[in-house]
Amino acid sequence: MAKRKSRRLRPGRLILLITLLCLIIGGIASLSYFAYAMSDMPAFNPQALENMVPTSIYDKDGNLATRIGTENREPIKLDEVPTSVKDAVLAIEDDRFYDHHGINFRSFGRALFRNVAAGGIREGFSTITMQLVKLSYLSPEQSFKRKMQEVVLTLQMERHFTKDEIFEMYLNKIYFGQGAYGIQSAAQTYLGKDLKTDDITLEEAAFLAGLPQAPSSYSRYLDSGKSVDNLDDGKSSKQDVKQLEEKHQKDYDLTLNRRNMVLQRMKDTGKISEDQRQTAESKSLPDSTKMQAAKYPYPYFIDYVTEKLIQNYGPDMVYKGGLKVYTTLDPKIQKLAEMAMANANNFPNYPADKNGLPQPQGAAVFMEPGTGYLRAIVGGREHTYQRSLNRATQYQVLDNGSKIGRQPGSSIKPIVAYGPAIEYKGMGPASIVDDIPTSFGSYSPKNSGGGFRGLITLRQALTSSVNIAAVKLLNTVGIQQSVKFAQGLGITTLDANRDGLAMALGGVSNGVVPLDMAGAYGAFANQGIYVKPHAIIKVERFDGTILDEFKPERSQAMKPTTAYLVTDMMVSAVRSGTGSRANLGARPVAGKTGTTDEGKDIWFVGYTPELVGAVWVGHDLPQKMPQAFGGIYPAMIWREVMNKALADVPVRSFTKPSGIVTTTVDSKSGLLPGPHTPSDHLVSDMFAQGTVPTEVDNLHQVMDVCATTGLLPNDYCIDRITKVVVKTPYSVPAGVADFALRAPTTTCTLHTENGIDPAAAEKYKLILPETPDEENNQENQGNQGNGGNQGESNGREPAQNNGENWLPGTTGAIEKNIKNTYEKAARVKDHNWQDFAWN
């Protein structure tokens, strides 16, 4: 049988088969990818090309306050745009726009080759039509999928609109930086010109045309130029000046090169001659003297509302959806707050920062305590651009999600010390705390000026902002309980483990903002009911359909009696304490000052029955302000706003809840008066029903003391006096203000078996008679036989053997003098600044 002859596969045929197979596979893959890319492509909708409909924002009375979204976009017809501007835009963006059908295949081929070689999008080939599609329909994502969608939508757009219509839509939609949308707004913003009526020079046209590629970068030289102009050479180092000038020059050169590139492209495409190009290139860039910033009324309040709207509905709905937003804005109070914040006399005098912003900065929030309606928000001394830093409402959010605000100083005391002590421990304004040197492990808090007042009531402690008293109260309540109390008031940035007892003095690692402090104090003004601050009442669609209505979020944060007692103590702080500059005369005001370490943050938070306000002052980059206190500048700002805001409002008192009783107690023990309580140690104050003490004072005791030294008498002390003293189970240093009222714990060493000990006489600074003649000559000095005109004795007031009752528990003259001294100091200096230690 003959063998079958085998057939060899020729190489050419093999190659052809492989090629066909690859083409088939590639085609299938391409079609699959194309189908995938088209699966979620937005539908072509001509209405999406329409410019945004503005969102209208109304005040508390339903009056239009402003519109957001189109304030800096003014549409213009294509035939109203100067030819030089159109030529410049076409030259740099798409010189063959009127020749292609939406896609420039020459640029497409070049870009496709380079992008495939690079394995990703490295070079664009966008035409004006494609850019309009991207702005109207697509995200800025860089991917082959998005580019394929862009191409398909571009072809659809070219079939639906004429070239002039596309070009006009593009010029009105594109962003030019500095808040300017559209070519007309850009001309107004950068040049101070109207394209319809003013002449535009060639260099100006090229400048505008160059911006859209990178508007933030190409307009940055204007901002850095302002920084150089505002730099205070007397306060800045030469190195700082040099670095700022170098940065400005770099920014300027970047924009200059871009403008000159546009001029070169105009020359290359035959729109201008070489002479025109050179002449235009020799001109400077526009400076900031003609710039018109995008401005709108009540900017910080509007910015806050805008942020909330974007969080709820997204930027497209806010800027394009034509929403109607009804807010709590009170234009009168807002204007007053803005004026107070713009008044340089309300701030310490420091130079502006390197960006030209006045320093120190400030922020204020005013709110109705009963409704939570925000009536005014001012986030700085001047508003520079839309949605800029709002110091009144914004925390700095770190990568780990934690929020950083500003240190509250002693303005936190009612929230973490006094409120919790009354709420959880049944204390009241007449409860007693001993202001003496105290350490809690390694932490030893200090008072302002370093003094100690001894046994004082909580009302006295809050009025004079005594630091040690606040720390003791926090320690008594427990940090966890106090943090829980603060959270009920909307203060959520406290960290029990990290802040420790320093929290009582404002040592709050994550800080606070005025918005939250106003909300917290509002609960004290509102019988213990916390109402979350809010600025938006209702949001409607353009056609009037209601999207949302916002009701106040309320919670009972504390007992009404607690709120009232803390309020009444803070009334004392304003009437006669550290907050006296916030006094409104006959109108009741409750409030608290706050001054942190070296005055880096200073506060006043206060309220009337109608309005609560929180004011903060400090540098954006914390800086020492040694002579600045919360009782000065923030209190002055607060008073300026409140005095005018409530000018026509009838005066009314804070509502006293049921369950408040008044009782007279001993001011040194806080107990009911005992048999030895002196009349000047009686104090009448308010208590929550059920917390009135039932025990009788046991601190005032009768004791025999040496008439000369005031110490415990020994067997040789002939002259003894029986007096009422304050006896505690512990001793206190001589530097404590009421030391002279305390029971002595040491025995007299002046009198001995052999008479007066000369060494002890020297110790007690006694002047002993040496001769009868000398004794007679000193008859007017009152020192015959008794040690007479003595100086200090172990830190006590000098003993006086002239018939006056000098010992504690008689006239109270010593304690009264001390009280007068501190009250006088409180009127001229804030007592709540401190060198608090950090745990």
List the one residue out of 369, 377, 371, 376 whose CA is nearest residue 610: 369
Q: Which helix or strand (DSSP H or E) is residue 65 part of?
A: strand 64-68
List the structure tokens of 364. 């204020």
List the one residue out of 814, 809, 819 whose CA is nearest residue 700: 809
- Alpha-carbon dihedral of residues 259, 263, 266, 267, nearest 10 degrees? -160
Ordered DSSP codes for 522-561: HHHHTTTEEE--B-EEEEE-TTS-EEEE----EEE-S-HH
Q: For residue 199, which amino acid is it?
A: D
Residues β-bridged to residue 443: 440
Q: For residue 536, which amino acid is it?
A: I
List the structure tokens of 742. 């305390």
Q: Going by C-beta distance under 8 Å and a sequence separation of 6 or more, which residues neighbour residue 178?
A: 189, 190, 215, 219, 222, 291, 293, 294, 385
Estimate the crossing angle of helix 238-268 against helix 220-230, to 10 degrees. 150
Rounded to an integer, what distance in angstroms lies between the CA atom of residue 221 and that of residue 253? Answer: 9
3-class DSSP assignment, residue 55? strand
Rounded to an integer, what distance in angstroms lies between the CA atom of residue 528 and that of residue 488? Answer: 10
What is the residue whose two structure tokens read 């000559």?
Answer: 777
List the one residue out of 227, 178, 119 whose CA is nearest residue 388: 178
Estimate the crossing angle of helix 83-93 against helix 128-137, to 10 degrees. 90
List the one residue out of 588, 593, 663, 660 whose CA is nearest residue 431: 663
Is 410 one of the catalytic residues?
yes
Among 74, 84, 93, 219, the active-site one is 93
Q: For residue 272, which amino acid is it?
A: I
Instruction: Report the sign of the C-alpha dihedral through residues 410, 415, 416, 419, in that order.
Output: positive
Q: What are phi and psi of 38, to 5 degrees?
A: -80, -15
Residue 372 CB-half CA count within 13 A = 21
Ordered DSSP codes for 771-820: SHHHHHHTGGGT-TTT--S---BTTBPPP--SS---STTSS-HHHHHHHH
Among 56, 136, 227, 410, the active-site one is 410
Q: What are phi and psi of 618, to 5 degrees?
A: 180, 165
Cα first-last separation, the chain: 105
Is 388 one of the catalytic residues?
no
Contact 384, 293 (CB under 8 A): yes
List the one residue out of 125, 130, 123, 126 whose CA is nearest residue 153: 130
Q: Strand 55-58 to strand 324-327: parallel, antiparallel, or no bridges (unpaired)? A: parallel
Count the Cβ atoms, other than its own, within 10 Å of residue 525.
26
Rounded to an integer, what distance in angstroms lies between the CA atom of residue 657 and that of residue 559? Answer: 10
Rounded to an integer, what distance in angstroms lies between the CA atom of residue 563 and that of residue 586? Answer: 21
Residue 320 CB-half CA count within 13 A = 14
> Could you list the active site residues?
93, 410
